[in-house]
Structures are given as structure tokens and as C-alpha cells.
A and B are shown apart, each in its own frame.
Chain A
Amino acid sequence: MRRAFAAALALVLSVGAHKGWDWDLPGGVAPPPVPAANAMTAARVELGRRLFYDADLSADGTMACAACHEQRRAFADGNATRPGVHGDPGRRNVPGLANVAWFPRLTYADPHVTTLEAQVLVPLIGERPVEMGLKGLEAQLPRRLGADPCYRRMFRKAFPERDGAIDTASVSAALAAFERTMISFRSRHDEGPAAMTPDELRGLAAFRQAGCASCHSGPLLTDLAYHRLSGVEDRDPGLIENTGRAEDAGRFRTPSLRNVAVTGPWWHDGSAKTLAQAIARHPAAPPTETIASLTAYLGTLTDARFLNDPRLSRPDEACGKRL
């Protein structure tokens, strides 16, 4: 099964993959597509990593990307939703970032956001709701970041073709490059059934029998399609907001199940406090007596190496100096 998934992924996603970057992928997984205008380089990834943990990317300096995307939670968040820097209530649960490099659709319900470079702008300058609150304050980026000689050096190294310009374009490109290194294909699930306990195997059988894999499919454990699993809410009508099509009301993108055990609370609005609740909400929910085993199986999708990878953690130094 694993080989078939890997082969399918390789076939579908190899087009456009950047060849000059060491992706450190397990056998059979092809590199993700990379926009030609934002080639992967060590300098770009290093800059993106530093920016990801820098709260100067928010209006008042209180919120970094990492404020909501915590590595130990597979870059999700422990809250249902999070208010933005000005206190605007959050609308949707913070999604994990594992394998986002392979996602052709980003965000829960906006089919127009198809690259990480574009997605970065949603929290950075988005207004529905305001998250990091930089809209109208973009000019402060070069002032804030450019005041640090090390940042100036890092931008020059990462974007020599732009003379190291410090602006939203280079910031979003660097962040996207870093996010493409958030790779998680080394869970016990990936080692196959031999690495699972009898209870987890019962959960795997229930997963297959209940048809979960029809949407949580492939190596990414998502079909990346939009589905409606519950009634339409005025508070968040889903895909229809961006398409205007009545049939899209209440539809949200299938989340990946990679590391799902550590990304709770669950559901697009974070309203499922336990995995069992989230499972039970599906229209064709598996029998109640299988949910404990299913939950145990989902635990095998946790990639401990990903959660602890020092290459993804907050950097302690830059330009040879401690931060």
C-alpha cells in the first residue's frame, strides 16, 4: 500500500520539482512542486525560518507565525480559534503545516490560494479576520527588519536578484521556502502494519471499512477536495464565500490526518474537543465500538521526528550571533 501511494504521489507531483535542493525524503516520495520564481536555496530557507519565529511580522510585534503554528503540535495550535493582534476573534482552527509543500489548495475554503507564497499573505495582511494585522503597515517591514544588519545580510544572500529587498514579496517567498521544508512522512504508519499494535491494526481495519480513506487518501492522507460534513453555519459558510455557488455552502477542504493526534482541537472551527468527537461527526461515522481503536490508529500518524526536528525549530542564532 505504501509503495503504491508513494508511486502515485511521485507521478502526480514530480512536475516542476526543484532539482537542486536536498529534500531529505523517504524512498518513493517525489519532491514537491516549487514555483520557478522562488527556487529553494539554503539562504532562503534559513531566512524564512528566522522570519517564521519573528513577531515583528505583526502590527504590534506580539505575534509571530509560530505564535499559532507550534512545532510540538505539528505546527497547529491548541486552541479552537485564536484572536488576532487587535483582538478580532478567529474564525477557523489553526491547521497543521506538515507537507504543505505538496498542497495545491491552501486554506480551508479558498480555491484561489494555490501557493504558499500567496497563503502567507492571508495571516500577514488579511482582514477577514485580522490576524497579524500588517495591512497598511507593510512599509514598516523594511524599517523593522532592516534595522538589524544581520537581517539585511540574510535578505541580500537570499534574494540577490532583488538586491536583498526587504518587503512583503521577499518575506512571503522566504516563509514559503521554509514551509516547504516542513516534511512529515516518517510516522509508524509509514513503517507499515508491522510497526502497529493489535489495537492500532484494528483501528486501521475500521478506517478502511468505514471508507475514511475515500477522502483521507494517499500519502498526504487528504484528497484536498472540499466536502460538506455538517449543516451550513451563518458564521462560516465555507467554500461558497469564494465561489458564490450554492452547492459549495458548508464545504471545507479535507484536512490531512498526518500528526492528527497532536493537532487538536479539531474541525474547521476547532469545535471537536476530542478525536472521538471529530470521528463521530462524520456522516458515515464508523461504529462507536471501533472509535477507540480508530483513535489509536490515528496516533500512528504522529511523526516524532517532525515534531522535534531542530531544522524546523526556533533558531537560536543568526549570522553567528545568539538571538
Chain B
Amino acid sequence: MLDHRCLTLTLTLTLPLALTAALAVLGASPAAAQMEHPAPACTAPAALPAELASWRDPAPLTAGRDRKGAAKAMLTPGQAALLTLSRTPEVAYPLRPEKPGGTVSFGGLASFTVKEAGTWRVALGSGAWVDVVKDGKAATSVAHGHGPDCTGVRKMVDYQLSPGTYTLQLAANAGDTLAVLVTRLP
């Protein structure tokens, strides 16, 4: 597991300052404790960093309920999507989420293709649980935290990914829609 202090240093050297501040407080490991940050008081939307530029212009997409549906719900890297989710009992996750939602929550599946190895970020508009799955295994996150204040990005989880197609598992969401953006970090 990456040491928190090392993570802070690494991010400081590689990420824009605002995102560094957002991510540096939390450590690596399962995308667990990512809900620390209380909602800020916002008077106006904040500017988005380049990698989240499409956040406010999401493309509608229906999330899958099973593997087949996940393959159809293909996310375009760098392009935000507004996913329509299903009730949790209707979703057949390929891998049981570490923190599955209750029966009254919502979830869904989508896919994305990694063409270039590197650090990939999953940004969410809520504190939903997220898993990035390939070959039956969940990728271990390398950093996670909240999004920049007043952007609507509630949570961001980073992964080191190699080329291939991945399934995005979303669980324990309070509402039936969820904004999602998957992008490779520069």
C-alpha cells in the first residue's frame, strides 16, 4: 500500500495544485473512505480543470444491469456521462462490490477502454461505491478524494491501468442517475 506521505509528494509533482489538494488527504487502497469532505458553500460554479472539462456537458447513457448491459454502456474517455441507474436488486455485478448498496439504493455497470497505460481517474457526482474490474478482479486504487470544490465532482478515484477493456461497477448510489467521467491523467 502506498504511504500517505509518499502519495502527497507524488501528486504534488504531477498534478495541478487544486487537484493535489483535493486528493492528497486520502490514501490508496480500496476506494473506501472517500466521503470525508463536507459539501462546501458555493455561490457560483468553480472552473473545471482540463481533465474534467466535459463535466457540465454529460452525455446521457443507460447503465447496464449485467455483463451484457455493461458492454453496451460504453463510456468515452474524457467525456462525462449521465448514467441512468437501476435499483440495486436488479443489478448483477460481475464482482460483488466491497460496499454494496441496500435494496433501496441504485447501481449499474458500464465499460471503458484503456488504450494507453497510465493513471486513470474515475470522477463521480456522488459518493457512490466504484470498482474498476477486469478479468474478475477489482483494480486497486492509487489515490482517492473529493473533487474540486463547487464543481459538482463529489469523488475521484485514481487507478494505474494497462490497456484493455474494463467494467465500471457503481453501487450504493442514493439516486437513479449519476454523473461519471473516466479520463486518463496527463
Residues of A within 8 A of B (CB): 54-58, 60-64, 66-67, 70, 77-83, 85, 87, 89, 140, 144, 147-148, 314, 316, 323
Cα(A78)–Cα(B127), bound, Å? 15
Name the A residues within 8 Å of B2 (CB-CB).
none
Contact yes or no, B32 A78, CB < 8 A: yes
Given A57-B102, A79-B26, A323-B96, A62-B128 contact (CB < 8 Å): yes
Q: Which of B117-173 contact A (CB under 8 A)?
A: 127-128, 172-173
**Which of B26, B32, B36, B103 is A56 in contact with, Cβ under 8 Å?**
B103
Nearest 3 CB-CB pairs, A to B?
Answer: A61-B102, A56-B102, A61-B105
B38 at the interface (CB under 8 A from A): yes
**Which of B32, B104, B174 is A144 in contact with, Cβ under 8 Å?**
B104
Contact yes or no, B96 A62, CB < 8 A: no
B88 at the interface (CB under 8 A from A): yes
Given A61-B172, A81-B36, A67-B99 contact (CB < 8 Å): yes
Contact yes or no, A54 B33, CB < 8 A: no
Inter-chain contact total with CB atoms closer than 8 Å: 70
Question: Given known contacts A61-B101, A82-B35, what 6 new A-B pairs fall within 8 Å (CB)?
Answer: A56-B104, A61-B105, A62-B105, A78-B27, A83-B35, A144-B104
**Which of B26, B35, B172 is A55 in contact with, Cβ under 8 Å?**
B172
Name the A residues within 8 Å of B103 (CB-CB).
56, 61, 144, 147-148
Contact yes or no, B174 A61, CB < 8 A: yes
A interface SS class: loop
Cα(A82)–Cα(B35), bound, Å? 6
B interface SS class: loop
**Which of B26, B27, B174 is A60 in contact with, Cβ under 8 Å?**
B174
Given A60-B174, A61-B174, A85-B174, A55-B105 contact (CB < 8 Å): yes
Contact yes or no, A82 B33, CB < 8 A: yes
Cα(A66)–Cα(B36), bound, Å? 15
Given A62-B102, A66-B99, A78-B26, A89-B174 contact (CB < 8 Å): no
Name the B residues within 8 Å of A61 (CB-CB).
88, 101-105, 172, 174
Contact yes or no, B172 A62, CB < 8 A: yes
Cα(A62)–Cα(B100), bound, Å? 8
Given A54-B102, A62-B101, A62-B128, A77-B172 contact (CB < 8 Å): no
Cα(A85)–Cα(B101), bound, Å? 12
B39 at the interface (CB under 8 A from A): yes
Name the A residues within 8 Å of B35 (CB-CB).
79, 82-83
Name the A residues within 8 Å of B39 (CB-CB).
83, 87
**Which of B27, B36, B38, B174 is A62 in contact with, Cβ under 8 Å?**
B174
Cβ contacts B20-41/A at 8 Å (1 or 0 each): 0000001100001101111100
CB-CB nearest in chain B for A87: B39
Cα(A67)–Cα(B174), bound, Å? 14
Contact yes or no, B102 A144, CB < 8 A: yes
Cα(A115)–Cα(B68), bound, Å? 48
Cα(A314)–Cα(B96), bound, Å? 11
Contact yes or no, B104 A80, CB < 8 A: no
Cα(A66)–Cα(B88), bound, Å? 18
